[in-house]
Structure formats: C-alpha cells, structure tokens
C-alpha cells in the first residue's frame, strides 16, 4: 500500500461522494420542501444515462447530446410532478412510497422495452480521455477529475441559487411553512414543479457523468438511490448541508473500505464486510443520533 494509491483512492472517494451528493440533495430537497419521499429518484439517474446514450446516437456530438439529455430528464420530471406527485402532496408516506415505487418499476421496464436488457457501455468523451500525474508516479484519469469539478460547480451553483436568489428564498420559505408562502400569493405549484425538475436534473447529471464509469442498464439507479437514502439518513433528512457531509462520508468510507479492509482481513468474509461497511456506518450514526447529523426537521 503506497501513499500514492491511498491518495488516488481518496480522490475516488471524494468523487463518488460528490455523485452521491447530487443524488441525495434531490431526495432531501423534495422531502424538505414538498414532504414527499421519492423512490423514483433512482429512475431519473438511470434515465440521464439512457438519454445521453440515445442523444449521442442521434446527434453524434457530446456538445448537443448532454444538453438534450438534461432537457429530456427535466421534461420527464415535469410530467411526473404534474401527473403523479401533485395528488401525493396531501397523502401519507405509504401512498407516496408505493406510487413512486410503482414509477420505478415502470421506468426500469420501459427502458428494457426500448433499449433492451443488456448493459450498454458509454465511452468517455474523446476530449476527456487520458490521464495526468497529480502526485508523481501515479496517473489519474482526466475524466474523473473533470466530473469531480463539474459536481463541485453544480454544488456551488445550487448553494448560490438557494442562498442568494429570490427562488432560493422561496425554497427556504417553502420548507419552513408552505401555507404562509402560498398565502403570500406565491404560485406554490409552480415552485414545486421547479424544485422537482431541479432535483431531477441533478440526478440526471450524476447519471450522465457516471454513465461511462458504470454502464447504462435497467435498474442502474436503484443501488445509487439506496445509497443516497443512506446519505440522507446519515446527514439528516431535509438538510442540504447534511446531504453534502453525509455524501462525502459515505463516498470516502465506501471507497477506502474497499481498499483497506481486504488488506487487514483476508478471509471468506472480506467481501461481505466490504459491501456492508456503509450500512454499518449508518447504524453507528443512528446509535448516536436518531435524526442524523444535521436534522432540519424533527422527527
């Protein structure tokens, strides 16, 4: 185990954590403001990858395909919000869980019908291939650096949007008391549609960027969704700051445990321990805090 390898894995961990943040922040925003638990969020991650793949086949240009994939994901989100989510706002969590679970089943099958069951490999954009030496003697892929940077920029833009703009003020107000916001003459329906589309686009962004690293396949969003839920539980449901801290913790912890545990323990149980590490982390956090690290809402 060299220092170079450790640093490289740390980079990977941060990068994975930031991807999880893009997912988790959508889950936590939609819950914090709309009080809806959205299990279909993983589908939007998956659709990001599929839309990019389809748009690439059609336009043969990353410059066109990436915006198209975004527009596609946003459109799906707007339709979903209007048709399925709106009636759910006044329903209990059970109805929300079942309806959004039903959507996940639908989308997983729909992409199978359209693009088949086989995983589809996506290649890294040609201008982002290659690697650089961050620390001497260890080459690090440019693509991973770029998606890390993009995720950081997206996170900063989101922060500016929430902290500095009028829409952000409405979002914050809406999460505190939606009745009052509506009573002040704000079109709360429009605000909800916007937030849902925004969270969908962040999920799609993660899906687009992870496409070349994982592969595009039916159900690709499900494990990511579950990890994002773990992040939200650790960070505290409804808290954007919690989502960031939780995501980085989970990303780094997961990546490092994959490297370090096999070095320390070499038995049959090794791979089991590696797969379970993140959930143990969640259990430990729950032992100390029932509501996560940065609980925005009690309960």
What is the contact surface with another protein in residues (CB under 8 A)?
31, 35, 37, 39, 84, 87-88, 91-95, 97-99, 101-110, 112-113, 222-223, 226, 229-230, 232-233, 237, 268-269, 271-272, 274-276, 279-280, 282-283, 286-287, 290-292, 298-299
Cβ-in-10-Å burial (0-12, 13-18, 19+) of 292 comes to buried
CB of 53 to another protein, least distance (A): 20
Smallest separation (angstroms) from another protein to the CB of 99: 4
By beta-carbon proximity to another protein, the closer residue of 147 and 224 is 224
Show the tokens assigned to 203.
């999920």
CB of 233: closest distance to another protein in angstroms?
5
For residue 29, with 0-12 CB atoms within 10 Å meaning exposed, 13-18 middle and 19 or more buried, which class applies?
buried
Measured from the CB atom, the residue of 70 and 253 that comes closer to another protein is 253
Which is it for the CA torsion 168, 194, 97, 180, positive or negative? positive
To another protein, the closest distance from the beta carbon of 96 in angstroms equals 8
CB of 273 vs another protein, minimal distance in Å: 8
Round to whole Å and give the CA distance between 292 and 192: 25
Nearest to 100 by CA among 117, 114, 80: 80
By beta-carbon proximity to another protein, the closer residue of 174 and 212 is: 174
**Taking Cα atoms as reference points, which of 37, 295, 32, 28 lies closest to residue 176?**
32
Tell me whether residue 35 or residue 172 sits nearer to another protein (CB atom): 35
């Amino acid at each position: 185990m060299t220092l170079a390898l450790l640093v490289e894995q740390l980079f990977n961990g941060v990068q994975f954590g930031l991807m999880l943040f893009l997912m988790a922040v959508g889950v936590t925003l939609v819950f914090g403001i709309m009080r809806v638990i959205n299990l279909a969020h993983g589908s939007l991650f998956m659709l990001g990858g599929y839309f990019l793949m389809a748009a690439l086949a059609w336009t043969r240009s990353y410059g066109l395909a990436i915006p198209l994939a975004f527009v596609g994901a946003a459109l799906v989100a707007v339709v979903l919000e209007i048709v399925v989510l709106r009636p759910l706002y006044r329903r209990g969590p059970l109805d929300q869980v079942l309806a959004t679970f039903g959507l996940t089943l639908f989308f997983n099958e729909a992409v199978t019908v359209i693009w088949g069951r086989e995983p589809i490999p996506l290649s890294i954009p040609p201008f982002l291939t290659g690697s650089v030496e961050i620390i001497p003697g260890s080459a690090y892929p440019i693509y991973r650096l770029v998606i890390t940077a993009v995720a950081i920029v997206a996170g900063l833009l989101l922060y500016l949007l929430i902290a500095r703009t009028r829409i952000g003020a409405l979002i914050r107000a809406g999460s505190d008391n939606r009745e009052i916001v509506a009573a002040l003459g704000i079109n709360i329906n429009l605000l909800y549609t916007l937030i849902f589309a925004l969270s969908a686009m962040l999920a799609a962004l993660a899906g687009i960027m992870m496409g070349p690293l994982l592969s595009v396949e039916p159900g690709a969003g499900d494990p990511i969704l579950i990890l994002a839920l773990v992040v939200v539980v650790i960070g505290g449901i409804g808290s954007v700051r919690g989502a960031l801290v939780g995501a980085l913790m989970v990303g780094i912890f997961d990546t490092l445990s994959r490297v370090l545990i096999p070095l320390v323990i070499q038995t049959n149980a090794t791979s089991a321990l590696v797969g379970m590490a993140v959930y143990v982390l969640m259990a430990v956090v729950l032992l100390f805090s029932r509501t996560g690290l940065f609980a925005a809402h009690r309960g």
